[in-house]
């Protein structure tokens, strides 16, 4: 991997691609195709897409009048769209690329979809949406499974009764037509508390409550689906199980019309206040969000045999002082556990685990130190730029020169009157910079064992000039008690050229990379590179 980004160091791959796209102006039609190649130099695998493409028609209203009408009909809101994709994929080893074995690893297919949907609103905050989706796939092969009691396993050098897959070549088309119905009720409730105390900086606090109930249902519609499934014996007892003849294909098997239904529940809270600024003279309060979002959601599977309730998800988000972002999320399971830590149909409360057991908790605090400190510097600069009649000035010796004091007239000749100097007589550099600090906490306990991780990261950049910048990121892992991968980068705009230097000073990824390249996209391959790869450390 030639990337020196922190997130891109786990694999070593080489990639190349050629793509073409076309959109027809004034129409919802678009087309794109590409040739892609990806090679992993570690395990010698190659993936080729020769080619891969798509054809799309974005959402349209086929029955909506072109000109406004006095009365709209229900079918005017009927929407549809069309999407088609095709792909020819080769997944093999580089040593087999130009051999006849490549044909056995080739997979190809075509898939297209046509959804139809309509929405009714009997009254405000309530909607009913029937829909119908057609999906079709075309493949050049399918599989047939059979039970072979005399199958000879060469690796074990013995007869092992097994399920054998036979590949049947030839065009095969499968399709599914799935009807569905959904409904949603999304009211909003408001509550406001007004402060009547004289002199209070808080005028009022408003609480917004947004409950939501959703319902979805899809009936049994196997008669609308082509025969894409078969059954096979899978053990010596003669037991059978179902399989898809398109198992392992590029686009899989179209979703059949199996009966399904669920009810979803969610509750979202928002809390905001109207606050007067200190020493306010305008009489107009400022709106401040106290809690940007506090939500709960879960769902109930109507037709499931057990474990009908899904885990309860809880999330929280707020911002303090405009530059401190706090987020948290947790997951609760209302079902209990068995001795091995697996989920069972018995409720958690019946096992003495409370109403629900927490299975995960994630929290993060993101602090924009650049904005925080930059705001302070900005206030200081404003103070420094006030007229001399409004503030004292410092002489070169450091003494405060008050207006009207002895020697005050001489200060007009000092360089301190220029905005290029600070109050102590030093040159002031207004260098754009940023610094972010983030703390992340993660706890998980899906079963009997728990796991806790804590990390702190620092990242930012310093723009020394309008064409030169330094960026950096580092961190600390509290669980491993070590510094995470640290990277320092320098970039320089050289007009038609661009220079960059990336350095990872410590750790197993210790390396550096220098690049000088042309900025024009047509000349992206015109570049000079020098590097020390991390593989050279071993």
> What distance in Å separates the CA atoms of residue 469 and residue 484, rounded to the nearest whole number?
23
Average pLDDT rounded to a whole number, residues 421-430: 53
Average pLDDT rounded to a whole number, residues 506-522: 86
243 in helix, strand or coil? strand
Task: Say what the pLDDT of residue 8 is.
Answer: 53
The b-or-e profile of 263-288 (16+ CB within 10 A means b, else e) is bbebebbbbbbbbbeeeeeeeebeee
pLDDT digits (tens, 9 = 90+) for 451-464: 999 999 999 998 88
- Give which of 474, 458, 530, 537 is closest to 501, Cα–Cα: 530
Looking at the predicted structure, is the pLDDT value of residue 50 above 90?
no
Give the global pTM: 0.70
The mean predicted confidence, pLDDT, of the chain is: 85
Looking at the predicted structure, is the pLDDT value of residue 381 above 50?
no
Percent of the chain having pLDDT more than 70? 86
Task: Say what the pLDDT of residue 66 is.
Answer: 86
Task: Say what the pLDDT of residue 412 is.
Answer: 40
Looking at the predicted structure, is the pLDDT value of residue 428 above 80?
no
50 within a domain of the structure (yes/no): yes
Looking at the predicted structure, is the pLDDT value of residue 299 above 50?
yes
> What distance in Å separates the CA atoms of residue 139 and residue 467, rounded to the nearest whole number?
53
Task: Say what the pLDDT of residue 376 is.
Answer: 43
Range of the domain at 71: 13-186+212-261
247 within a domain of the structure (yes/no): yes
Looking at the predicted structure, is the pLDDT value of residue 408 above 60?
no
494 within a domain of the structure (yes/no): no
132 within a domain of the structure (yes/no): yes
Task: Say what the pLDDT of residue 402 is.
Answer: 40
pLDDT digits (tens, 9 = 90+) for 463-483: 888 889 999 999 999 998 998
Give the model's confidence band at 200: pLDDT under 50 very low, under 70 low, under 90 confident, else very high. confident
Task: Say what the pLDDT of residue 414 is.
Answer: 38
Which one is predicted more confidently, 405 or 86?
A: 86
Which one is predicted more confidently, 381 or 159?
A: 159
162 within a domain of the structure (yes/no): yes
Average pLDDT rounded to a whole number, residues 320-346: 92
66 within a domain of the structure (yes/no): yes
Average pLDDT rounded to a whole number, residues 402-425: 44
Which one is predicted more confidently, 63 or 401?
A: 63
109 within a domain of the structure (yes/no): yes
Number of domains in the chain: 1
449 within a domain of the structure (yes/no): no
Q: What is the rounded radius of gyration, in angstroms, for the C-alpha atoms of the chain?
A: 33
């Amino acid at each position: 991997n030639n990337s020196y980004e922190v997130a891109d160091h786990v694999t070593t791959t080489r990639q190349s691609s050629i793509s073409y796209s076309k959109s027809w102006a004034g129409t919802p039609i678009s087309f794109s195709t590409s040739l892609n190649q990806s090679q992993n130099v570690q395990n010698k695998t190659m993936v080729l897409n020769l080619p891969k493409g798509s054809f799309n028609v974005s959402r349209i209203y086929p029955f909506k009048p072109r000109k406004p009408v006095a009365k709209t009909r229900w079918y005017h809101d009927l929407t549809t769209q069309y999407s088609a994709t095709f792909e020819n994929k080769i997944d093999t080893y580089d040593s087999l690329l130009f051999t006849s074995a490549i044909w056995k690893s080739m997979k190809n297919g075509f898939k297209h979809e046509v959804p139809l949907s309509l929405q009714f609103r009997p009254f405000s905050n309530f909607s009913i949406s029937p829909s119908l989706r057609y999906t079709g796939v075309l493949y050049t092969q399918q599989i047939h499974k059979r039970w072979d009691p005399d199958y000879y396993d060469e690796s074990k050098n013995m007869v092992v009764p097994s399920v054998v897959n036979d590949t049947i070549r030839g065009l095969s088309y499968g399709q599914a037509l799935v009807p569905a119905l959904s409904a949603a009720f999304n009211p909003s409730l408001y509550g406001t508390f007004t402060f009547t105390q004289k002199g209070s900086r808080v005028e009022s606090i408003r609480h917004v409550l947004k409950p939501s109930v959703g319902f979805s249902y899809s009936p049994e519609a196997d008669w609308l689906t082509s025969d894409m499934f078969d059954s096979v014996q899978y053990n010596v007892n003669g037991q059978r199980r179902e399989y898809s003849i398109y198992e392992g294909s590029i686009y899989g098997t179209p979703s059949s019309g199996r009966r399904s239904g669920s009810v979803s529940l969610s509750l979202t809270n928002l809390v905001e206040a109207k606050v007067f600024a200190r020493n306010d003279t305008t009489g107009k309060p400022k709106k401040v969000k106290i809690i940007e979002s506090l939500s709960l959601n879960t769902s109930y599977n109507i037709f499931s045999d057990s474990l009908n309730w899904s885990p309860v998800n809880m999330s929280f988000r707020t911002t303090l002082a405009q530059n401190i972002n706090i987020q948290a999320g947790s997951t609760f399971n209302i079902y209990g556990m068995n001795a091995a830590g697996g989920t069972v149909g018995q409720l958690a409360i019946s096992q003495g685990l409370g109403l629900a057991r927490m299975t995960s908790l994630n929290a993060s605090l993101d602090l924009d130190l650049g904005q925080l400190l930059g705001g302070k510097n900005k206030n200081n600069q404003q103070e420094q730029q006030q007229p001399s009649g409004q503030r004292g000035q410092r002489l070169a010796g450091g003494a405060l020169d008050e207006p009207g004091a002895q020697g005050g007239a001489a200060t007009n000749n000092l360089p301190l009157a220029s905005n290029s100097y600070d109050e102590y007589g030093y040159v002031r550099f207004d260098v754009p910079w940023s610094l972010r600090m983030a703390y992340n906490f993660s706890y998980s306990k899906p079963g009997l064992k728990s796991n806790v991780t804590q990390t702190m990261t620092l990242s930012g950049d310093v723009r020394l000039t309008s064409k030169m910048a330094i960026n950096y990121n580092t961190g600390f892992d509290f669980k491993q008690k070590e510094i995470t991968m640290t990277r320092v980068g320098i970039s320089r705009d050289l007009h038609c050229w661009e220079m960059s230097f990336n350095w990872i000073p410590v750790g197993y990824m210790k390396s550096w990379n220098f690049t000088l390249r042309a900025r024009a996209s047509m000349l992206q391959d015109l570049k000079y590179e020098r590097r020390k790869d991390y593989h050279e450390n071993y």
